[in-house]
Amino acid sequence: MPKKFVTRKKDVPVATPSASDDSSPESSPGGLQTQDVEWPSLTKADLEQFAKKFAELDANGDGTLSGDELGDVMRDHNAAMSELYGRKLAEDELGDIWELGDADGSGEIDPDEFVLMMYLIRCASDGIMIPKSAKAFPPGQFPPMAEEPPEKEPKKEEPKKEEPEAKPEAKNAEDASVASEASGSASAELARLQKAHAALTKKLDAVTESAAEAEAEHLVSSRQNKTLQKRAEKAEASLETLTKKLDKAEDRAEAAEAEAKVLQRRFDASETARKEAEAAKKAAEEEAAEAKREEKSATAAMASKGNEQTKMLTARAEQAEADEEKARRAQTRAEADAKAATARAEAAEAARAEAEAKTAAAEKRAQEAELDAQVREESAEHANQDAEVEIKKRRLAESARDVAALRATAADERADKAEAAAAAAKENEREANDADEKGKGEAVQAAAAARAAAGD
């Protein structure tokens, strides 16, 4: 989360009065005068709660908190206060509170500054306008502290004073009236505090239930996250296996292409041999034709040249026929070799096409596996984000529960005070009644004594 209000401490001096501060030091951003604000008091339970929170956050135990340690805590406390009071502060308002809390501009928050910041967030969430300068705070102790109920001291008996007969009755009536009013106001205050305590208890129960639900959702998200991680690992293993198969298919395809090239060269050689055989056949046919021509010529000249020349021509003709037969056999062998080379080339082409098809299928499966792994990874990331949201909700619920517990404790203390005040009022009322009865008795005795004196 961006620490917007943390980096502002070096740009805006804290508690440095501007021209507007000199002219009206008590004014707040909303124009509300500080003397018109009724700042709520902090109780001893509030201080103990803030001290406990500070100790939890102070991981290194140096007695100070940095912006990194405090930023999310301020936002969580802000969210918890908004649940109670219905108003959530903006980042700029949190930045102003940071500047007011970090009075010395050191960027480090000590326990007293932490209490002030938590107190100002609570007040701002309750609708109180926070001033820009610390000079606008009321003089004396700030934040104000609630007064602890004083211990009861034993009553000292005062010497009785003789008063006129009419004065004790008037005084007793006045004391009874004051005691009655005090008892009524104490009873009303007690009823109001009991009602507030019941409302806070209800809110606390709701927050506790919400925290339990958030915890359950967090556990479900954790289980889903583990399942998605296992699926992602399986997808990665499957992708690795498909990659290996793809590499093997590519190797087979390369081997098939090399074999196809060899077969092509053999086919070309057999084709060349076939052409050479055809040329030899043609030459043999030409020689045979020439031999026949010579044979005819020899036949015509046999009568004159004799039997020896005839035998020579016959031998040459037989040699030409043998050469022709040899050329025919060579052509047949060349044709057979060409057919075999053609068949091998076709087989190599089919093997290459099959290898290409397997390669394409392996690439497609690899792409599908990669896409599936990407989808599972995104699902796992979303599950992690949901888990983080649930953790923040849980922290928010815990903060709200702590605040509700603080308010409940404060309500209990106020209720105890009201009960003590009511008891004191009843005691005063009883004493007033006793004094009234005593005054009436003294008045009756005085009247009797007066009548007796008049009769004498």
pLDDT, tens digit (0-9, with 9 covering 90-100), for 191-238: 888 888 888 888 888 878 877 787 778 777 778 878 878 887 887 888
User: Which of 12-26, 329-343, 378-392 shows the lowest mean pLDDT across its residues?
Assistant: 12-26
Q: Measured between alpha carbons, how far is 77 from 100 in angstroms, rounded to an integer? A: 17
Q: What is the overall mean pLDDT for the chain?
A: 79
**pLDDT-derived band at 50, boundaries 50, 70, 90:** very high
pLDDT, residue 12, reads: 34
CATH class of this structure's domain 44-126 = mainly alpha
Predicted confidence band of residue 62 (pLDDT cuts 50, 70, 90): confident
> Which amino acid, one-letter code, is at 285?
E
- Residues 405 and 204: beta-carbon distance below 8 Å: yes
Bridge partner list, 27:
33
pLDDT over 90 percentage in the chain: 13
pLDDT at position 67 is 76
pLDDT at 166 over 60: no
pLDDT at 122 (0 to 100) = 92
Q: What is the mean pLDDT of residues 73-101?
A: 87
Radius of gyration of the chain from its Cα atoms, rounded to whole angstroms: 56
Domain boundaries, the chain: 44-126
* pLDDT value, residue 155: 52
Write 227-236 long-range contacts (CB < 8 A, 24+).
228/376, 228/379, 228/380, 228/383, 229/380, 231/376, 232/373, 232/376, 232/377, 232/380, 235/369, 235/372, 235/373, 235/376, 236/373
Pick the range with the lowest mean pLDDT from 116-125, 351-360, 401-410, 447-456: 401-410
What pLDDT shows up at residue 331?
85
- Position 7 scores a pLDDT of 38
**Average pLDDT, integer, range 10-31:** 37
